[in-house]
Amino acid sequence: MTNPKIEKVKANIAKIKATIENNQAKLKELEQEKIQLENDEIIALFRREKLNEDEFAELLRSQRKEIKNQNGKGDAHDVQN
């Protein structure tokens, strides 16, 4: 004979696991959407500023150098745009 309380807990565990899996899938989709939006923003900047490939590459290099220089002063993620 199975204890009804145990069966209820098992059912709740299964329900929560399904919810977690669903939320993980949604999270993955949102992370991909965020990356795509960031990429679109970079492309828009590139086009708006009418940079050629060499100018854009130099801009990226200079930003990288700035971040490296600031690493001693703070986290690179704290860099303001």
- 9-23, 50-64, 65-79 — which one is most confidently predicted on average? 9-23
Share above pLDDT 90 across residues of the chain, in percent, rounded to a whole number: 48
CA distances from 45 to 17, 33, 51, 70 (A): 42, 18, 9, 23
Task: Report the alpha-carbon distance of residue 41 to residue 45 in Å, rounded.
Answer: 6
**pTM listed for this prediction:** 0.58
